[in-house]
Amino acid sequence: MLLECRLKVTRFKQQKKLNTSNLYLYKSITSYIQNSELRGTEKEEILQQVMDMMLQAQIEDKPMTLIIGNDYEEFCNSIIDEYSSDKSENYRVINYIQKSLLFTIILLFLFSMIRKITHPSIDLGITVDFLITSIAISFIMLPAIKKRNQERSSSQVFWYQELYAMGSDLSKSDVFSFFIAICTVGAIRLILLKILGTKIFTYTITLYSCIQDVGLILVIIIILECYKRMYNKGR
């Protein structure tokens, strides 16, 4: 974590030395790399190496195509593939589960706080409906959105342009991901409806009643992080 922070601070200082066109290219590369599935330290190491190469080329007045090539996304993918090639499928699955669980916890906390603020008289907690939605968002929609952000990293657009693009320029993977998310939520709701009835969706799970479950999930997240660190040290 400390190494990652030091690299990030150094990178922010050095990128000020880039001229306008090179800075735009570097920010596009940064966005693409940051939306990859690499570890934070790996991302900063890559971005620092790219920064050093671009600054050196700028000093020597060389075109960036000599370093980056004609397609920066292809350049980024080659680096990402190089870093990811020695990671096992188990590692990738564990990384996906860990991040999804963490996103779920964050979303549930935000939902419960918003619910408490808007309805001060009720207990701190969430409904089963919110729980199902949070799981679908964390495990399906967020990974798809992250991938889309990576693909659109070079597009500097306003929020309303992005909103329009989301509706008019959806790729097959976007449509598939949202379709799977909707189907997952629908299937879970249907199963619960058949077994427990409609009242289950408005049932509130309070923080006090599930504190042990939240603690268990956090322990699982920590264990998965320890496994990832041991895996990376053993490479």
Domains of the chain by range and CATH?
2-84 (1.10.1900), 89-233 (no CATH)
Half-sphere exposure of 135 (CA within 13 A, CB side): 14
Predicted pLDDT at 159: 37
Q: What are the two backbone dihedrals, phi and then psi, of residue 127, each rounded to the nearest 5 degrees?
A: -85, 165
The per-residue b/e assignment along 28-58, b for 16 or more CB within 10 angstroms, e otherwise, is bbbbbbbbbbbbeebbbbbbbebbeebbebe
Residue type for position 181: A
Predicted pLDDT at 156: 45
Predicted pLDDT at 52: 93
Task: For residue 14, give every residue at least 6 positions away whose Cβ sits within 8 Å of its Cβ, in sequence order, or none.
Answer: 51, 55
Predicted pLDDT at 38: 85
* Per-block mean pLDDT, blocks of 10 residues, the chain (235 long): 77 90 91 86 91 94 90 90 79 85 90 88 86 84 68 47 42 62 80 86 86 90 88 69
